[in-house]
């Protein structure tokens, strides 16, 4: 299968070692990619390293600064090679009504969810365009399309991310670089666990999914791995919903 996906030996930079990023880093490494994974959490980084038998390079960092984002890209390039595969999988949600949100809520989510995607994507894109090849994937969400209550900053950043992906894809398509997003529905991750475990939220969300269940990180990682492969070379500017049919209803 590794030969079919043509990922063996390709340098990959994964931003985010938590649920979806971590699962994707493990999947890419399993296909033979040379993976560097960056995260603020030492615990998340150690978990990914353990799952891959130490095959990934780990970079502990705080990305809420444009220069630090560029530095992380350069550090990954020095350790595994100039990225041919890039995944942005960091994000956070604040579940409160618009009228209850603070200025800090808005600024923090905008910076983490969207600005880091721009800063990192711009620098990785520059390297990929220069090399004439690249596969870029960003983790979006069904919230970028659906109008979920109590999700305003998160939804706004994911909707903005979808458009950022489309513009990058258009500008770089002629340079051999594809840019896509995966948009998960309700997935069991550390980001969603506390919310799912209270007030019957899990059961309520399952009823909204035509497939009748929540997803797991490996199902999102499979989609990421495909889009990162040479088999997806003519796919760009797309948002792939991995949601059990959630956006259909």
Say yes or no to pLDDT of 2 above 60.
no
- Alpha carbon of 70 to those of 9, 74, 124, 129, 231: distances in Å? 23, 6, 8, 16, 29
Say yes or no to pLDDT of 177 above 50.
yes
Give the range among 166-180, 199-213, 217-231, 235-249 with minimum mean pLDDT: 199-213
pLDDT single digits (tens) 19-53: 999 999 999 999 999 999 999 999 999 999 999 99
Mean pLDDT of 159-183: 98
Give the catalytic positions in this structure: 154
The per-residue pLDDT for 45 is 97
The per-residue pLDDT for 1 is 42
H helix count then E strand count, the chain: 10, 7
| Residue corresponding to tokens 């799912």 | 196
- Look at phi and psi of residue 149 and say left if phi exceeds 0, alpha if psi is from -120 to 50, else beta: beta
Say yes or no to pLDDT of 171 above 70.
yes
Half-sphere exposure of 52 toward its Cβ, with a 13 Å CA cutoff?
28
The per-residue pLDDT for 239 is 98
Contact present, 26 and 54 (Cβ < 8 Å): no
pLDDT single digits (tens) 103-160: 999 999 999 999 999 999 999 999 999 999 999 999 999 999 999 999 999 999 999 9
Backbone phi, then psi, for 147, in 5-degree steps?
-95, 70
What band does 191 get if pLDDT is binned at 50, 70 and 90? low
pLDDT single digits (tens) 48-100: 999 999 999 999 999 999 999 999 999 999 999 999 999 999 999 999 999 99
Quickly list DSSP for 132-197.
T-EEEEEE--GGGTS--TT-HHHHHHHHHHHHHHHHHHHHHGGGTEEEEEEEE-SB-SHHHHHHHT
Q: Which helix (H) or strand (E) holds 131?
A: helix 116-131
Backbone phi, then psi, for 177, in 5-degree steps?
-115, 125
pTM of the model: 0.95
The per-residue pLDDT for 237 is 98
Looking at residue 111, the DSSP 8-state letter turns out to be I
The per-residue pLDDT for 184 is 97
Looking at residue 115, the DSSP 8-state letter turns out to be I
Give the CATH fold of the 2-241 domain: Rossmann fold (3.40.50)
């Amino acid at each position: 299968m590794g030969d079919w996906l043509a990922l063996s030996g390709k340098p990959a930079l994964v931003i985010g070692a938590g649920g979806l990023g971590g699962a994707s880093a493990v999947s890419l490494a399993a296909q033979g990619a040379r993976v560097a994974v960056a995260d603020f959490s030492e615990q998340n980084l150690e978990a990914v390293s353990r799952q891959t038998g130490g095959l990934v390079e780990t970079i502990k960092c705080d990305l809420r600064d444009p220069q630090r984002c560029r530095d992380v890209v350069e550090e990954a390039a020095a350790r595994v090679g100039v990225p041919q595969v890039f995944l942005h999988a960091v994000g956070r949600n604040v579940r409160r009504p618009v009228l209850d949100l603070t200025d800090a809520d808005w600024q923090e989510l905008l910076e983490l969810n969207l600005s880091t995607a721009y800063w990192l994507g711009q620098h990785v894109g520059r390297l990929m365009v220069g090399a004439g090849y690249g596969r870029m994937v960003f983790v979006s969400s069904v919230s970028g399309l659906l109008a979920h209550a109590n999700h305003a900053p998160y939804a706004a950043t994911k909707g903005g991310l979808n458009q950022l992906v489309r513009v990058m894809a258009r500008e770089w398509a002629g340079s051999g670089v594809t840019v896509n997003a995966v948009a998960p529905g309700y997935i069991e991750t550390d980001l969603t666990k506390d919310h799912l475990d209270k007030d019957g939220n899990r059961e309520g969300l399952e009823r909204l999914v035509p497939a009748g269940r929540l997803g797991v990180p490996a199902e999102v990682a499979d989609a990421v791995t495909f889009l990162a492969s040479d088999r997806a070379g003519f796919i760009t500017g797309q948002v792939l919903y991995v949601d059990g049919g959630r956006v259909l209803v």
